[in-house]
Amino acid sequence: MSAPAIQQFDPQGQPAATSFPLNQWYVAGFAWELTDTPLARTLLGHPLVLFRTADGQVAALEDRCCHRALPLSKGTLEEQGVRCGYHGLLFGADGKCLEVPGQTKVPGKALVKAYKVREQDQIIWLWYGRDEQAEPSSEPPSYPHHSSGQYLFGGDVYHYDAPWQLIHDNLLDLSHLGYVHLHTIGGNARIHMNAQMQVTGDDESVKVVRYMPDSEPPPTYTAAYPFKGRIDRWQEIEFNLSHLRIWTGAVDVGTDAIDDPQRGGFHMRGFHGITPETATSCHYFWSMATNPLSEPEETLRKVLQQTEQTFDEDKQIIEAQYANMKRFGVQPMVDIHVDVGPNRARRIIERLLKDNG
């Protein structure tokens, strides 16, 4: 089977396809982002305002007041919902106008579009359905590493001026660590490029497992865990349409089986929610969970600091890659052995886009 085409561009540098797979849950944000002010975010081409009501309900509305079109994200939050910052119309979580200051009657047409959102394990999910009025056909994915109590974690959000699938490619191919991340999670580039690799999957997911036995621990690992010397290292990457789960870590050489689900050692469990903003930009919602042996808060701080540094490095690479793709236009690309996982993920998205009809 031939490899799927990397993103194609028209003469203006825009992707040939501008739609996204329907009937899916996409990440809209993290629970801790919803504070006492409305949050503006464009997801899948839809400008939204996200907020939490006084009773804890998460809401997402079209970011446009139906009166004079001011973004509702420029307003204020109250107990019942969001109040427009222009003339004070108050909207509830269902998008209906609850109050028009200065008049008793609320016009029946005074409402804005409401989107279906759910909160699960401190992740906020947005349902992107074919029928906007229909209830979601499934529950949002769970991510127990945020709620099990076994790990400490933190996270943040990046904005990319690049299409979302370029980030999928990057995360499904960790052979680049030895070149891009020399000072953090990298290590010997030759070991990375020659790591034992297994790629499996089905119609909806891809799993890439890489083992690097008897290798030198990278800087992030030695900063966070008391390794005695060389390590047996693993990388397990699980791709789903809207997010990837990446479990990396290591044990001291020969002390534990690195394919044992209950193995010990140093763990980094990453959540990576990749949601298109437009056809040429996206949001990257990430968290990193770890299992400190001592000084938990300081160890978590080091892990998060190192993680942010690696993501800064990736962002520079991916945005430069995309800028060059636009500069050169459609050009043939050569596949190598590390592209098996990314190519499978692209085929899944191609099939789902065909299902859009």
Q: Are residues 111 and 222 in the same domain?
A: no
pLDDT band at 181 (very low <50, low <70, confident <90, very high): low
pLDDT greater than 90 at residue 130: no
Three-point CA angle 106, 109, 111, nearest 5°: 85
Domain boundary among 93, 128, 163: 128
Write the CATH number for 108.
Answer: 2.102.10.10
Distance CA 286, CA 280 (A): 20
Q: What is the mean pLDDT of residues 172-185?
A: 69
Domain boundary among 128, 158, 190: 128
Q: What's the mean pLDDT when you consider all of the chain?
A: 90
pLDDT band at 330 (very low <50, low <70, confident <90, very high): confident
pLDDT greater than 50 at residue 231: yes
Q: Give alpha helix (H) positions in the chain.
A: 164-172, 177-180, 189-193, 219-224, 296-328, 340-355
Strand pairing of 24-30 and 123-128? Answer: antiparallel
Most confident of 8-17, 62-71, 189-198: 62-71
Q: Comparing 6 with 269, which gets the higher pLDDT?
A: 269
pLDDT at 296: 92
The answer to whether position 266 is within a domain reads yes
The answer to whether position 137 is within a domain reads no
Q: Are residues 198 and 114 in the same domain?
A: no
Check if the beta carbon of residue 21 is closer than 8 Å to that of residue 349: yes
Check if the beta carbon of residue 106 is closer than 8 Å to that of residue 90: no
pLDDT greater than 50 at residue 188: yes
Q: Comparing 196 with 346, which gets the higher pLDDT?
A: 346
pLDDT band at 220 (very low <50, low <70, confident <90, very high): confident
Q: Are residues 218 and 342 in the same domain?
A: yes
Q: What is the mean pLDDT of residues 245-272?
A: 95
Q: What is the mean pLDDT of residues 37-63?
A: 96
Q: What is the mean pLDDT of residues 260-283?
A: 95
Q: Are residues 45 and 165 in the same domain?
A: no
pLDDT greater than 50 at residue 8: no
Distance CA 173, CA 204 (A): 18
pLDDT band at 196 (very low <50, low <70, confident <90, very high): confident
All residues at 6 or more sequence positions from 315 whose CB lies less than 8 Å from its CB, including other chains? 158, 160
- The pTM of the full predicted model, rounded to 2 decimals, is 0.91
Share of the chain above pLDDT 90, in %: 74
pLDDT at 105: 96
Write the CATH number for 234.
Answer: 3.90.380.10
Q: Are residues 155 and 103 in the same domain?
A: no
The answer to whether position 5 is within a domain reads no
Domain that holds residue 109: 24-128
Domain boundary among 128, 157, 179: 128
pLDDT at 186: 56
Q: What is the mean pLDDT of residues 47-71?
A: 97
Q: Comparing 1 with 267, which gets the higher pLDDT?
A: 267
Count: domains in the chain: 2
Three-point CA angle 78, 83, 85, nearest 5°: 130
The answer to whether position 136 is within a domain reads no
Q: What is the mean pLDDT of residues 167-173?
A: 92
Q: Are residues 114 and 164 in the same domain?
A: no
All residues at 6 or more sequence positions from 354 whose CB lies less than 8 Å from its CB, including other chains? none
The answer to whether position 269 is within a domain reads yes
Q: Are residues 207 and 341 in the same domain?
A: yes
The answer to whether position 138 is within a domain reads no
Q: What is the mean pLDDT of residues 67-88?
A: 97
Q: Are residues 286 and 349 in the same domain?
A: yes
Q: Are residues 342 and 210 in the same domain?
A: yes
Distance CA 78, CA 352 (A): 40
Q: Are residues 50 and 197 in the same domain?
A: no
Q: Residue 29 has which token pair?
A: 């944000």
The answer to whether position 135 is within a domain reads no
pLDDT at 12: 44
The answer to whether position 113 is within a domain reads yes
Check if the beta carbon of residue 61 is closer than 8 Å to that of residue 48: yes
Could you read off the pLDDT of 283-322 as tens digits, one per residue? 999 999 999 888 999 999 999 998 898 888 899 999 999 9
